[in-house]
Amino acid sequence: MKLFSCLMALLLFLLQAVPGLSLPKDTLRCVGYHGFCFHSKSCPEPFAAFGTCSRRQKTCCIDTTSNFHTCQDEGGHCVPPEIECLQEQVGLCPHREWKCCTEV
């Protein structure tokens, strides 16, 4: 059993350390937003769809009852960083570097 645990630890280390063996980018983005990957195309309640996971094979779902709300749920619009916001607000955008604005 100790040998199995050591092998699993080594495998996990290699998955993190070796480029190309880590999780897909869309899955990392989903997890970064505290999301979960579901096999179905629609998310169960109280989750809302927020992109894809596993190279677009699964749906990224975020919990709508948590403090993490999408920008559109809060009445805003996601804009790239080069666009100036007149009023910025809290909300998740599909692209991490984008910001949520109520007025552009």
pLDDT one-digit tens code per residue, 44-91: 888 888 888 988 889 998 877 766 667 877 788 888 889 888 888 877
Report if residue 5 sits inside a domain: no
pTM metric for this prediction: 0.48
Given this model, what pLDDT does residue 9 score?
60
Domain span at residue 43?
A: 23-68
If one compares 50 and 19, the residue with the highest pLDDT of the two is 50
Q: How far is CA 6 from the centre of its chain?
A: 30
61 and 30 in a common domain: yes
62 and 33 in a common domain: yes
61 and 34 in a common domain: yes
95 and 83 in a common domain: yes
Q: Are 61 and 26 within 8 A, CB to CB?
A: no
73 and 59 in a common domain: no
Cβ-based neighbour number of residue 25 at 10 Å = 9
Q: Which of 68, 48, 30, 89 is nearest to 100 (CA)?
A: 89
Say how many domains are in the chain: 2
